[in-house]
Amino acid sequence: MTPIETYPWNPSDDLQTREDIALYLEAALEEGDTNLIVAALSDILRSPGITTISRETGLDINYFRQTLNHEKTPSVSTIIAMIQALGLHLQIVAVQS
């Protein structure tokens, strides 16, 4: 069997626009895993597009990086503040059964 060749992938490299960031974060939120959401927010803060968004929104990247680098999960208010600072908002929709 031929070995499969793999390459490292950094999701931060693909988060160039606010739309990219919104879709990535939405996918993490849909999973419902707090650790995955925090990891997605960390990826977003390392993305190339964050510099532009930071200028546009006044986002203090260092504050959020420090918050996400701690060993504990950030509070809901911190996550909401970060999402708002990114120029995004949360939307709740009913799940179809």
Q: What is the mean pLDDT of residues 68-87?
A: 81
**For residues 67 and 97, what is the distance between their CA atoms, to the nearest angstrom?**
37
Share of the chain above pLDDT 70, in %: 99
- Burial of residue 30 (CB within 10 Å: 0-12, 13-18, 19+) is exposed
Give the least confident one: 3-12, 15-24, 56-65.
Answer: 56-65
Looking at residue 40, its pLDDT comes to: 92
The rounded distance, in Å, linking the Cα atoms of 11 and 8 is 10
Distance CA 51, CA 26 (A): 20
Write down the pLDDT at residue 6: 92
Entry pTM: 0.79
User: What pLDDT does 19 receive?
Assistant: 92
